Amino acid sequence: MDENEYRDAYRRINPRRCLFEKAINSRRATCALGQRFHLADREGIACTDDAGQARCAALLPVLRRKALFALKITDAPGPLPHAKEMKVQIGGMLGVQQCLHPERSPERVEDIDGLAREAGATWGEAENWPWTEIVKSVVGFDARRRRR
């Protein structure tokens, strides 16, 4: 299967793509609305809820924009390079999780959608979230865990 065929098949079987797919596929995050599927030798994540995908579609650009300075980037009109996108997705949601639940593990994001809903109920619109604290997690996030 060539790459164009793969993309076409992916879009056909997954019309509601998870926007945090990279984070979930890395096994460093989970989402109650994410559903795994396999296509060829790859794994994808589908979102099972329109409202949940809309929440993520509103949140992810704000996460990217708030993290630009920390990532030493001046502009990001869309998805970032892979390593920086991982820092934004996982590091950003770890920051949200630590602000809401400091007792949880700082290594793994538990339920992205649940955190987005809880943060919205606690702080209101994403623009009003405690970005100083959240961005610290983006800066401190290391996508590759050191092996001993």
The verdict on residue 147 lying in a domain is: no
Domain assignment present for 47: yes
Question: What is residue 53's predicted lDDT score, i.e. its pLDDT?
Answer: 96
Residue type, 10: Y
pTM of the predicted model as reported, rounded to 2 decimal places = 0.87
Q: What is the pLDDT, as a whole number, of residue 146?
A: 58
In a domain, 71, yes or no: yes
Is 110 inside any structural domain? yes
pLDDT in tens, the chain (148 residues): 588 887 788 788 888 999 999 999 999 999 999 999 888 788 889 999 999 999 999 999 999 999 998 888 888 777 788 899 999 999 999 999 999 999 998 889 999 999 999 999 999 999 999 999 999 999 999 877 655 6
* Backbone φ, ψ for residue 92 (5° rounding): -65, -45
Beta-carbon contacts of residue 106 (< 8 Å; ≥ 6 apart): 94, 98, 137
How many Å is the maximal CA-CA distance in the chain? Answer: 46
Residue 106 within any structural domain of the chain: yes
Residue 146 lies inside a defined structural domain of this protein: no
Residue 111's domain comprises 3-140
- Number of domains making up the chain: 1
